[in-house]
Amino acid sequence: MTEVPFPQPRECPYHAPPGYLALAGSGPLSRVTLFDGREVWLVTGYAAARSLLADRRLSADRTRDGYPLVAPRFRASVARQLVLIGMDPPVHDDHRRLLNPYFSLRSVRAMRPMVERIVDKYLDHVESLPQPVDLVSAFTTPVPSQVMSEVLGLAEEDLDFFQDASRRLLHATTQEDSQAAGGELIGYLDRLATRRRTEPGPGLMGELAPAVVAGELTQHELVQIALVLLVAGHDTTASTLALSVVTLLEHPEQIAALGDEERLPAVAEELLRVLAVTDLAGVRVALEDIEIEGYTIRAGEGVLVSATVGNRDGSVHDDPHAIRFDRTGRNHLTFGYGIHQCLGQNLARLEVQVALAKLFARLPGLKLAEPAESLPYRAPGTGTVQGVNRLPIFW
């Protein structure tokens, strides 16, 4: 049997790699081979994906033996000892209950003025620069980075540090580079958490510090929570924004929908569906044997749930490979499913809607300064997050 490597690069930023689609054509589960030669399951069927993401017989605990690592950087301890996304109940549930109120729909709606202010600030910056402008460094990266920094209550003057350390962490191709960048972020957040125990401050760090003092949360847990939110909460949104611009410019007939407030949520949802920048809706290891749709996942085997392919399941979406802004509902796996469904999805949706609507309203003549196929897309050696490292534009 021919080995099928995972991950694979996309040939187009808004289409799944042909190799993944070929696997999906043979059934909802397939076997793929990781960088270290390990063979694991790749789930491409939508129904199977939702079923497995809700199955407590699969563990998200990254420290467990058998947990599948999709790139060398995930061998670093900083990438394996993560709260929320890398933990199982009951600890996961305790943290989730603590954080849910801060990311509820009501709370996120109250953040709109803050998000709009930040977007306007960076659009002013874009317009002040000589053309062509790299939209990644000038807009799509700093906007979600500052949003998450303000949510956490971090100092604005440290924004460049966060962006640089996060970039080095997420783009690392080795365990050592990942650990070094992660260590810098943890050190900063630990110092801030220590200060917030005696000195009140803004944002989530300030709100949760009393829980550390009261013994309801350890300082290590608070630092880990902040790290996960800071890194995951800005990189995925930044990548989505950049690839959304590419996608919209490749489909200019769809851009007008951004100016319609009633249609805008559907536009953002369709972009989230087709882009699915994290590529995976979940990474798990089986705790016991699981029978599903004629397949047997054995205890100890790794399971990768594909959002990229699951979002293109024809049993869920008509004409699933087409980009259509008239779709309704949120039947996609981009934010995962089950207890580990993305905590920050409401905020991500708000950022995508506000940033794209304002960007194309302010710069209606926006165009790529070089062909989309020649842009420097993120290499698969860093993991599965899709993105573009540079996006030169003019208007």
What per-residue confidence (pLDDT) applies to 79?
Answer: 81
Q: Does residue 1 surpass a pLDDT of 70?
A: no
Confidence of residue 2 (pLDDT cuts 50, 70, 90): low
Query: How much is the average pLDDT of 53-82?
Result: 91
Residue 173's CB: how many other CB atoms inside 10 A? 14
Is residue 307 very low, low, confident or very high in pLDDT (cuts 50, 70, 90)?
very high
pLDDT at 83: 80
Counting Cβ atoms within 10 Å, is residue 75 exposed (0-12), middle (13-18) or buried (19+)? middle
Please say if the pLDDT value at position 10 is more than 80: yes
Residue whose token pair is 């698969």: 380
Decide if 394 contacts 265 (C-beta within 8 A): no
Mention every residue, 6+ apart, whose C-beta is less than 8 A from residue 39.
3, 31, 32, 33
Name the CATH superfamily, with its identifier, for domain 18-389.
Cytochrome P450 (1.10.630.10)
Categorize the per-residue pLDDT at 130 as very low, low, confident or very high, splitting at 50, 70 and 90. Answer: very high
The predicted-structure confidence for 332-355, as pLDDT tens digits, reads as follows: 999 999 999 999 999 999 999 999
How much is the pLDDT for 112? Answer: 98
- Is residue 163 helix, strand or coil? helix
3-state secondary structure labels for all residues of 216-248: CCCHHHHHHHHHHHHHHHHHHHHHHHHHHHHHH
Residue 143 has pLDDT above 50, yes or no: yes
**Which candidate, 366, 388, 384, 385, places its Cα nearest to that of 375?**
388
- Report d(CA 376, CA 361) in Å as an integer: 26
Q: Are 149 and 230 in contact (CB under 8 A)?
A: yes
List the structure tokens of 25. Answer: 């054509």
**Measured distance CA(112)–CA(279) in Å, rounded:** 27
Q: What is the DSSP string of 167-225?
A: HHHHT--SHHHHHHHHHHHHHHHHHHHHHHTTS--SHHHHHHHHHHHTTSS-HHHHHHH
Q: Is the pLDDT of residue 120 over 80?
A: yes
DSSP-derived secondary structure for 309-375: HHTT-TTTSSSTTS--TT--S----TT--GGGS-TTHHHHHHHHHHHHHHHHHH-TT-EESS-GGGS
Cis (ω within 30 of 0) for the bond into 7?
yes
pLDDT in tens, 216-272: 889 999 999 999 998 888 889 999 999 999 999 999 988 999 999 999 999 999 999
From the number of C-beta atoms within 10 Å of its C-beta (0-12, 13-18, 19+), residue 25 rates as exposed
Q: Where are the domains of the chain?
A: 18-389
* Residues in Cβ contact with 131 at an 8 Å cutoff, skipping those fewer than 6 apart: 369, 393, 394, 395
Average pLDDT over residues 135-159: 93
Tell me what the mean pLDDT of segment 91-95 comes to.
Answer: 90
How many CA atoms does the CB half-sphere of 181 hold within 13 Å?
21
